[in-house]
Structure 1
């Protein structure tokens, strides 16, 4: 038997504690600064949550590797069969702007495949969970995506950059664009059918999508990079070439219309 459920329970328990910790900093004007190379903001809250997660998770599973947005990366993780991949606060800009659209994204990856994942949105009281052999759940209730099949008129979580007609074979295809600050949450919103799809034409980091990609897949969503290739995790470069996340027929329509 797999111990995916044991790992999921650990992730869920620790995510809730980490969420409580992040809320202690939220709306309290935490110290923040920009990372080098225009890599976005980071705050003392991100680092505190990261330290907490590493202590709790690696304390419970010392043989697992570690990949986090807020930790110095090491190639040692490539030697581990199982690896934690986490984003301590996904949506740091929202967090610093006192927007509730931030959360913890925590995954266990086994031999390149996500086997347990949690996305916890503490300010919204939302917890999405899944294992590789179980259903996708929101606060313990199964979720499923929309039944959208065509891009035109679909509700899509993406940035304005995706509207560029040059990205598409036949010009902008007429979807309805919205955006949410947390990448992981975007995938989960598709998984629960509140939006039809989420796409990105930019590079995506593993810690932003690992946990949520499993939740989306177990809900019945197709998850690939912008070229239609499945994601792989715990790789040396830690990045994918964009993403397209949608129910199967809608995903196929994206693949047919994107200029790749």
Structure 2
């Protein structure tokens, strides 16, 4: 089984578990905990030599000396999960030498798992472009950039749901500033790159994983034809 196939199978299985927990009207804390146990057990059984970085586990600094590190978010969008919304996700990704090499994002309420080994064919883009922002706290940068490029802002929940909306053709741009962690975007970036999208920091630099600090402050995932326009607008905003 390839790394991408493994990521897809585990993300899908964890998503099914989370749906059962959600149907029992249980909260996100239980979902985070039980999905994390499942994912770690599957990864350790299948890839015992690899390191793991998970949002729901204590960080083991020995990962810094490893080439292959699985980066996972067992439940991306705990708030959306608790509200029984659709826009939450499961992230399972493998970073190799700092690059998002393989990954899968499950969207359990939509019944789909997107993975880097089965790239989605991109749909025709819409004009004006749709720019995805946080549904609860869109950043000033996102508001400014949307105005500069004439984009329509669309609020949505988890990072994975927003990134996969671009992959699935439901939006053209996902711009984020204000802080994320490696587990928030490693799997989405792996899937987005495999689909032929642009993925970078908001200054245009590559995203590097398995750093000592888990934070990754910002992110741009978009259709390639919009990348330079968005990056230029970010620069004009003084970021």
Same fold (TM over 0.5): yes
Q: Any gaps of 5 or more consecutive residues in structure 2?
A: none
Q: Any gaps of 5 or more consecutive residues in structure 1?
A: 32-41, 137-141
Deviations 1:16-46 (A, max 9, x none): 2211111111042325xxxxxxxxxx51111
Asked if structure 2 preserves the Cα contact closer than 8 Å seen for 1:146 and 1:196, the reply is no
Return the alpha-carbon distance in structure 1 between the equivalents of residues 139 and 38 of structure 2: 36
SS at match of 2:109: coil
How far apart are 1:171 and its partner, in Å? 6.2
Distance 1:165 1:92, change over 3 A: closer
Asked if structure 2 preserves the Cα contact closer than 8 Å seen for 1:222 and 1:247, the reply is yes
1:74 and 2:60 correspond: yes
Among residues 80, 98, 120, which one is paired with 1:112 in the alignment?
98
How far apart are 1:76 and its partner, in Å? 1.0
1:1-260 correspondence runs (5 A): 6-31=2-27, 43-131=29-117, 135-136=118-119, 142-144=120-122, 146-147=124-125, 153-159=128-134, 161-163=138-140, 172-258=148-234, 259=237, 260=239
Asked if structure 2 preserves the Cα contact closer than 8 Å seen for 1:163 and 1:172, the reply is no
Root-mean-square deviation (CA, aligned residues, Å) is: 2.2
Asked if structure 1 preserves the Cα contact closer than 8 Å seen for 2:78 and 2:88, the reply is yes
**4+ residue stretches of structure 1 with deviation over 6 A?**
none
How far apart are 1:179 and its partner, in Å? 2.1
SS at match of 2:69: strand
How far apart are 1:147 and its partner, in Å? 4.2
Asked if structure 2 preserves the Cα contact closer than 8 Å seen for 1:184 and 1:212, the reply is yes
How far apart are 1:146 and its partner, in Å? 4.5
How far apart are 1:9 and its partner, in Å? 1.7
Higher helix fraction (1 or 2): 2
Return the alpha-carbon distance in structure 2 between the equivalents of residues 171 and 154 of structure 1: 11
Deviations 1:193-244 (A, max 9, x none): 2201010121121111111101111212111112111101111112223111
SS at match of 1:109: strand
TM-score in terms of structure 1 length? 0.83
TM-score in terms of structure 2 length? 0.89
How far apart are 1:166 and its partner, in Å? 8.8
The number of residue pairs the alignment matches comes to 234
Return the alpha-carbon distance in structure 1 between the equivalents of residues 142 and 108 of structure 2: 37
Return the alpha-carbon distance in structure 2 between the equivalents of residues 224 and 12 of structure 1: 23
